[in-house]
Structure 1
Amino acid sequence: MGDVAMTPGHGQHGLLSRAEEQDRLRLLLADARRGRSGLLILRGEPGVGKTALLEEAVTESAGMLVLRATGIEMEAELAFAGLGELVRPLESRVDRLPTLQARALRTALSLEDGEPPDRLTLGAAALTLLTDAAATGPVLVAVDDAHWMDEASARALLFAFRRLQAEGVAVLVTARDGERCLFTEANLPTLTLAGLNPAAAAALVQRVVDVAADSEPFKRLYRETAGNPLALLEAAPALCDSGWAAQEPESPLPVGPRLTAAYATRLAALPEPGRRAVTVAAASFTEDAVVLIEALHALALDAEVLQALEAAKVLNLSGGKVRFVHPLLRSAAYHLAAPELRRESHRVLAGALTDRDGLVDRDQRSWHLAAAAAGPDVTAAAALADTAARARDRGALPAALRAYERAAELTSSQFDQGRYLLAAAEVAQLAGRGDQALVLAEAATNTTDDATVRADAAGLRSQVLLVRQPPRRVHDQLVDMAAGLEATQAVPLLVAAAGAGCMGGAILQARATADRAGALARNGEAVIFDHSAAVLRAHTMMLAGERIDAATVFSSCEQFLTDTDPLSIGIEVTSFSAMDLMWLERFPAARTLLERAVRCARKIGACERLAPYLTVLAETQLRTGYWDDAYALASEGATLAGETGQPVLQAYAISTLARIEAARGRATQCIEHARQFRGLLDSRGADLVSPYIEATLGLLELGTGRESEAAARLDELQQRVRDLGLREPTVLQHQPDLIEANLTAGDRSAAQAALAELLDQVQQAPSAWGHAVSERCRGLVEADEDAYHKALQLHAHLPDPFAKARTDLAYGRFLLRKRKRGAARRPLNAARQVFERLRADPWTAAAEKELRAAGFKTPTRPGHAPVALTERETQVAVLVSKGHTSPEVAAALFLSTKTVEYHLSRIYAKLSVRSRTELAGRLAVNRDHPHE
């Protein structure tokens, strides 16, 4: 009820002069009735009329199912309180959800115990529940005072709201200006309400007092309230005071404090029992009248005091609920009460929650115990720590963070305070709040002498620094931090330092640091340290071109990686292990490791951890021919990395997007992503990451006929790679492009030199990719048909269809030059089919040009020119073309089935197809293409 002043005759004050806003709401409802979903955020200062408009929308929603939730300031700490209120009318439908979604929703709402729900599954559950409700008729979702909704609920609902499209669900959200709110930060359709115009303001005030619109008292009132309806109503009685208008004009005050002052007058007029009762009501996390009455009994007050407060127009009593007539009145009642009265209120509320029918709401009770404490309180601290652990297990990381922080404030034990602060730091890191995690980890270190806490805090700080600061600087900082520490404290720092050194391109320094970590770990007792150090040692060896030795070292760690929770070890350990597996061409193992890590991170909403896992998985999918999967993963990884302040990882993800765009000839998008990439890495010293975009731009130039530009760019890149000491050719995979570009541009000597360097590296660090592409390049440079034969044989052991198609294209061109037109058709046609499936348009065109030169008539495909499918339409089209049903596509993309069908109808129209079978043929998706 965020903006409705419950004063007789004033229920419609906010609707004066709101014709435009009312039209927007009617259109939102009309669209829902026609089967189209929509969302509108109403923003504005307190009292401006947001809730009045929301209430009118509810009134006009005849024939619609109305789902409501109201944010309450005191409930902001309670995980999933808002979500529970909104979906409670749909509880009977929960069992109809897919099993994982139903389990996630029941666990989040404490309807059953279970594994913590991951954020995506929970959001998908909310989406499916709303879609199911809309299947029998349009739905209005009304969320009032969203700025006070608990963050876990807001994230789940925001996930669902953003994916509504063709279900017939209208979503209306109100939020207050000046308050942090996830809904208003999400770039959603928003309508900002201003104050009433003078004529409407005068009409409103005249309902309360007889005053002329052109009088000086009214003009001053309008100036000071800026037309805010609730402020006008609260201040209007002052117009009857003859001395008020004669006062010297004062500067306008913010609406919030002015309204609070007005409410203070009303509250001060209450008798002492009423003030005590209203403070208890304001302190309560629940509107349940039974809990409130039980708490009042502990103060020797009875239910009649609530009726008196209703008569005084402070509370509304209905349906077993006790509600304030306005949230600001609740806020004023609580904050204007004496501290000892507030503590007393929380104490009796905690007792009511403890004793009620033998049931205990442990989370509400723990927060009441904390608020009742006048100083350190070990019982309240322990209760809050338990609440924090439950919130973490349910994926409500923000609630867990606040509970751990408050528990640390309430304990007098340095040991417990250190533990709670460290736990808070760990949750902050998982939630993507790296800066806060650093502060909390340092506080934990400064609070306790416990060696384990201090070591874990140091390790956590290293994890945060790794993805937030220039990598070489982080390497040096962590090495300095490790100096003089015991092995258990030093090894995690050195492992993270080695990872930072790798990212910064300081490969030799990173190798030395990894060796030092390994030596210390072997003298320690913890197995986790030994294996983590070995992973980083293997990684640095890979980069230096010691592939065979690196594989041997890495093999000793595989069981450890399989058995260990990826969230319990460093980001760099899991990420670099997956990279190593990818470079070692053990793609199934890399995918298994990363998918498991992604599941673990999603389960508790660990966005900061999720970003690197998604990003490496995207490159793995790219290298095995699943470009659409790779694009979706990289896009999500880039978004999460940006949201969690990880610019180096964000740039790495963007480079994967750009590489796919380069291969597909999407020059505009590729160049824009290159611009973003460079902006993110500017002056960050991520020297091993920055070459990725140059390799990508070289591929773009080579594929679009600018061979000289490609040769110049890739020659410069190759020199940078030499300077870094990077001798593993599978990392950037740019050398075949360098050789082909130089050869096509007419510089055979440069191509020969680059080929010799590649052959030398492949001999030192043998790989299926290296052998195959170096043989292809040898065929190009030396015009050797046997080299092409050998290359194609080697490609059989490599699940990289793009690389093989390029070999087929090069071989076909070679055969044409030898006037073997008939023989050329097979490799050229094979290349064309793969390029077409991957939608690598420049390469498809090149293969078709050569096929025509071979006298082969390429098939006519209607609409072969690129069609402007959106990214979402592309995702839907590809999954449908692979044979997935609409519900399966909806589950995979976290959409509703109706939205999938909506996208599918648009895809059909754009591609001029009429069925899923025609769509599959139109996209030319090769369903038999294996992962490996």
Structure 2
Amino acid sequence: MPMKAFVDRENEFAIIRAFVEQACAGQGGILVVEGPAGIGKSALLDRVTAAGGPATFIPLRCHAQVGQLEAYGPLLDLLAQMEETRSRRKRLLRRSGESFRSRWPELLTLVPSFGPTLKMVAETLSGPVPGAPLVDNRMAARSIAEAVLLTLREKQPVVVMIDDAHRIDGSSCAALSYLSSALADQPVLLVLAARDDELTDNPPARHLVEDLCLHDMARRLRLGGLPVPAVAELAQLVVGRQPSASTARRITEQTGGYPFLLQYYFSEEKTRLALPAAAVTLGDVGNELAGNSNPESGLADQVGAVIWARLRRLSDDDLRLLSVASVQGREFHSKVVARLVEQPHDAVATRLHRLGKETRLIYPVEPDDWDESIGSDRYSFEHDLLQETLYRDQTPSQRRERHRKIGQVMGAYSQEHPEPPQEIALDLVRHHRMARDWLAAGRAAHDVACRLATTGASTREVVAITAQGLDDIRRMRGSSEADRLRAQLIELMLTASELSWRTRPEADGTVRLEALSTEALAAARTAGDIDLEIRIRYLHGKVLLYTRGVPAALGPLREAWERALHSGNAVSILLAGCEYGRQLPKADVAAGLQVLHQTETTVAGLPEVANNADPVVQRARYMLALQLGISLFDAGQIGPALDRLRTTIPAVRLRAALGLLPIGLNYLAQVEAAAGNLAESEALLTEAVELNDGSEPDGWHAVNLAYLGTRMTLDRAEPAGLPLLEQARAEAELTWQANLAPLVANLYATSLIAMAATNPIHYDTARQILEECLSETRRTGMRRSEIVALSLLGRLHLAVGDTMTADGYSAAAVDKLREVDWRLAAVCVEEVLYHHSRIQEARGDGEGAHESLRLARAEVLRKAGSLTGPARERFLQAVDLNQRISAGHG
């Protein structure tokens, strides 16, 4: 056995010590310490003994042997121990076998004072001995009790601890019953430590304990599993390192907090486990402890012995009932078990209730609404290892068949009683998967992921579930339904994970995003579903935008839009129109806005239920409203843009549908800043940044960090904004999304140029960033970011005195703006024109500078025309750029 470490049990220890002190004061009695195997009863008694005190502590144990020779077993052991302490010359030695039977009466006569009485008892128990008188059993029990009491008086005060008392023989129970009435005024404490769930198998022992407690002649103390803090403390003692709180919780759930299981786990596994500071992965801990560990370690055998010590007392029918229940999991439903064993639910419910009360292997769980709706009790196994031991005691084919039936039963209940709890829905997926019913597993995974997505669950959860469902579908042969599910799962997975898409090629040169969207497109075609194919085609175009840029994306997006219009399906028009109208402004703002308005008009009558049933549709509905807001802004209509975005954001906050909130907050922050509401803009960006939990790189988190850092450096000349921009660029590098990474690069360069007045070294960093950005935007066709990079390079070169180079870059930016009729998404036309006028003035081109300023003023006034009252005045007077344009160069 590995080294024992003792933790916790302070309350239980104090209770026993209080009984010890009462006994020492002359108020003896009996204390029953109960608990299942491995719960730490023996360790607690050892600790009480080690603590010592004025009393004499006598530890005893009941043995597993059966038969007449075990009669009065622990009490004769007690007498033998007392005899050994009395005299070295004469000692009572217990033997086993025929030689002991024949010598027992003679040996007992060596015990002074009560030897003759014990001799008669022994002769009766040993069988006929020539010339021996017969002794009544009651007289024998009374004689043993009197002998024990007489002997104990020589050592008072005394504490007798009988461990494994669930094995005690009936004769000893009779003697203890007589003895109990005499202890009240004696300085003697008798402690019986027993497995309460095994007392049922020993009627004399059970009747003794019940009778003593009923007549207030004994007290009961039940031990439970160690709490989480104690488990962590035990790990520190055995392994030498504290686990994290979450790890300690998981270990406690696995073992039920049983000290025996914990001691073996930590001692045998400490080299492998080493309890890292981060959470330990315990998915296989149950496998290790339940029978899949290294056989040389002996751990599986030890743990199995402890668990089966409790299970072996079950009848075959009860064991089968719990075995079936273990397939459902740590928690299970009586009604599901009844369906699997094909027995009336009432009978099964009764048996489970009885098992819970008599064995404590299972316990009832407070039912929730779903349990009540299906009319079932819910139970939990005492701990994971118990459930896993039962589960692994079944053949693989048994487990698969039972998983299949559970999946069918739970699936039927889910249809009859909609909206099962999330854990039930996820469990349904697991059962189908364990049964290798791949189509059912994929279908359930899609249903669960859709439900989670529409309720604003973690996108990571949605992505993980859809990925598992996709893996299940890929395991089966192709069919129309399987292909449809494959396309739908990929659609949902990509939509949910858009914020964290990574576009860098794999080692083999493929881009995972493109491979997935191509797979989905092929599956949609094979399924023969025209509307699904339209949906996947627009998704494929979106992926190409992120991986290859605008030119590669607009073709598939336009094709999806045209097919949707031809089909007349409102959902297809919403999905394709939203995305095409979202990306088209990167090449043509007016055309993109027209597509968005047309989409909004076409789908105005789309029932609200369509939003709730499909998270992709729900997301598109909100995205359409957000995109109309930002596209109105790009078109110079600041007032309408503010109205629409301010109206939409509260609804998005409530639904948090598939990661739209970071995008929506960014859009509104841009418009608020342009309107002169800088504090509001910074607050929105701060909220958007805090939405990310830091678990993985996120393209829009990088964008929001960059905008927030820029607000800090430009509006407040706050150097602390630069670290945010550095972080944003590093994060954008990891995801490198063709439409977002250049935005981050340009924002970072803008702030570096602004801060270079006090630290010129920033010019070199900004130049490098802008030149890389310019090269990338020309590759991907991201014209908006190309124009901004050209303008910024012009400003940078002007700042360092290179007016000729500055004019070349800035003029190129203006020319490209003129080509798109001065309208392009995410490009502030008046800003480009204003800085170009400054470069022209520095070059001595007064007339050109005047014309550029005139165009800039006209653009400011055009935008101001979309605002009224104080909002218009604030736009004209509070926005620094607008003031400088109005005043001329400054």
Q: What TM-score comes out, normalization by structure 2 length?
A: 0.50
- Once the two structures are TM-superposed, the CA of residue 592 in structure 1 deviates from its matched residue by 6.9
Structure 1 match to 2:544? 501
2:705 partner amino acid: I
Cα separation, partners in 2 of 1:334 and 1:14, compared to 1, 3 Å: farther
Q: 1:265 aligns with which of 294, 309, 320?
A: 309
Structure 2 match to 1:551? 593
Are 1:757 and 2:815 an aligned pair? no
Structure 2 match to 1:584? 635
Within 2, Cα distance between the matches of 1:302 and 1:538?
A: 60
Within 1, Cα distance between the matches of 2:471 and 2:641?
A: 34
Cα separation, partners in 2 of 1:336 and 1:622, compared to 1, 3 Å: same
- Once the two structures are TM-superposed, the CA of residue 488 in structure 1 deviates from its matched residue by 2.3
Q: Deviations over 1:853-880 (max 9, x none)?
A: xxxxxxxxxxxxxxxxxxxxxxxxxxxx
- Once the two structures are TM-superposed, the CA of residue 512 in structure 1 deviates from its matched residue by 1.7
Within 2, Cα distance between the matches of 1:601 and 1:720?
A: 33
Structure 1 match to 2:822? 766
Instruction: Please give the residue correspondences for 1:40-439 in structure 2 after superposition, counting only pairs within 5 Å.
Output: 261-269=305-313, 298=348, 308-309=358-359, 329-337=382-390, 375=405, 378-384=408-414, 389-391=419-421, 396=422, 400-406=425-431, 419-427=443-451, 431=458, 432-433=460-461, 434-439=463-468
- 2:699–2:732 Cα contact (<8 Å) kept: yes
- Once the two structures are TM-superposed, the CA of residue 489 in structure 1 deviates from its matched residue by 3.3
Secondary structure of 1:746's aligned partner: coil
Cα separation, partners in 2 of 1:756 and 1:177, compared to 1, 3 Å: farther
Are 1:701 and 2:752 an aligned pair? yes
Structure 2 match to 1:161? none
- Once the two structures are TM-superposed, the CA of residue 805 in structure 1 deviates from its matched residue by 0.8
Within 2, Cα distance between the matches of 1:477 and 1:307?
A: 53
Structure 1 match to 2:503? 470
Within 1, Cα distance between the matches of 2:857 and 2:812?
A: 22
Structure 1 match to 2:617? 569
Are 1:691 and 2:715 an aligned pair? no
Within 2, Cα distance between the matches of 1:724 and 1:260?
A: 62
2:12 partner amino acid: G
Secondary structure of 2:801's aligned partner: coil
- 2:332–2:380 Cα contact (<8 Å) kept: no
Within 2, Cα distance between the matches of 1:435 and 1:773?
A: 44
- 2:445–2:465 Cα contact (<8 Å) kept: no
1:504 partner amino acid: T
- 1:475–1:500 Cα contact (<8 Å) kept: yes
Q: 1:449 aligns with which of 469, 480, 486?
A: 480
Secondary structure of 1:389's aligned partner: coil
Are 1:804 and 2:847 an aligned pair? no
Cα separation, partners in 2 of 1:581 and 1:502, compared to 1, 3 Å: farther
Within 2, Cα distance between the matches of 1:274 and 1:534?
A: 61
- 2:7–2:230 Cα contact (<8 Å) kept: no
Q: Deviations over 1:588-621 (max 9, x none)?
A: 6666776777666665665545554455555455
Structure 2 match to 1:359? none
Within 2, Cα distance between the matches of 1:561 and 1:541?
A: 19
Cα separation, partners in 2 of 1:619 and 1:145, compared to 1, 3 Å: farther
Within 1, Cα distance between the matches of 2:643 and 2:303?
A: 58
- 1:381–1:406 Cα contact (<8 Å) kept: no
1:552 partner amino acid: Q
Identity %: 11
Cα separation, partners in 2 of 1:187 and 1:737, compared to 1, 3 Å: farther
Structure 2 match to 1:880? none
Are 1:532 and 2:533 an aligned pair? no
- Once the two structures are TM-superposed, the CA of residue 510 in structure 1 deviates from its matched residue by 1.1
Secondary structure of 1:806's aligned partner: helix
Within 1, Cα distance between the matches of 2:877 and 2:301?
A: 65
Cα separation, partners in 2 of 1:513 and 1:577, compared to 1, 3 Å: farther
Cα separation, partners in 2 of 1:318 and 1:741, compared to 1, 3 Å: closer
Structure 2 match to 1:440? 469
- 1:735–1:754 Cα contact (<8 Å) kept: yes
Are 1:727 and 2:775 an aligned pair? no
- Once the two structures are TM-superposed, the CA of residue 813 in structure 1 deviates from its matched residue by 8.1
Within 2, Cα distance between the matches of 1:339 and 1:744?
A: 74
Cα separation, partners in 2 of 1:270 and 1:457, compared to 1, 3 Å: closer
Supply the RMSD in Å over aligned alpha carbons: 6.1
Structure 2 match to 1:518? 561
Cα separation, partners in 2 of 1:805 and 1:327, compared to 1, 3 Å: same
Q: What TM-score comes out, normalization by structure 1 length?
A: 0.48
Structure 2 match to 1:482? 521
2:830 partner amino acid: A
- 1:377–1:412 Cα contact (<8 Å) kept: no
- 1:695–1:714 Cα contact (<8 Å) kept: yes
Q: 1:656 aligns with which of 680, 698, 707?
A: 707
- Once the two structures are TM-superposed, the CA of residue 696 in structure 1 deviates from its matched residue by 1.9
- Once the two structures are TM-superposed, the CA of residue 548 in structure 1 deviates from its matched residue by 2.5
Within 1, Cα distance between the matches of 2:532 and 2:333?
A: 49
- Once the two structures are TM-superposed, the CA of residue 695 in structure 1 deviates from its matched residue by 1.4
1:383 partner amino acid: Y
How many residue pairs get aligned? The number is 573
- Once the two structures are TM-superposed, the CA of residue 470 in structure 1 deviates from its matched residue by 1.0
- Once the two structures are TM-superposed, the CA of residue 557 in structure 1 deviates from its matched residue by 1.6
Q: Deviations over 1:881-900 (max 9, x none)?
A: xxxxxxxxxxxxxxxxxxxx
1:384 partner amino acid: S
- Once the two structures are TM-superposed, the CA of residue 423 in structure 1 deviates from its matched residue by 1.4
2:448 partner amino acid: A
Within 1, Cα distance between the matches of 2:40 and 2:746?
A: 55
- Once the two structures are TM-superposed, the CA of residue 558 in structure 1 deviates from its matched residue by 2.5
Structure 1 match to 2:12? 11
Structure 1 match to 2:492? 460
Cα separation, partners in 2 of 1:561 and 1:713, compared to 1, 3 Å: farther
- 1:494–1:513 Cα contact (<8 Å) kept: yes
- 2:787–2:817 Cα contact (<8 Å) kept: no
Secondary structure of 2:480's aligned partner: coil
2:804 partner amino acid: S
- Once the two structures are TM-superposed, the CA of residue 511 in structure 1 deviates from its matched residue by 1.6
- 1:714–1:734 Cα contact (<8 Å) kept: yes
- Once the two structures are TM-superposed, the CA of residue 517 in structure 1 deviates from its matched residue by 1.9
Structure 1 residues without counterparts, runs of 5 or longer: 17-45, 53-143, 148-171, 179-184, 196-203, 206-218, 227-248, 321-325, 343-369, 816-932
Q: Deviations over 1:622-654 (max 9, x none)?
A: 544555555555455556556675633333333
- Once the two structures are TM-superposed, the CA of residue 273 in structure 1 deviates from its matched residue by 8.7
Cα separation, partners in 2 of 1:688 and 1:568, compared to 1, 3 Å: closer
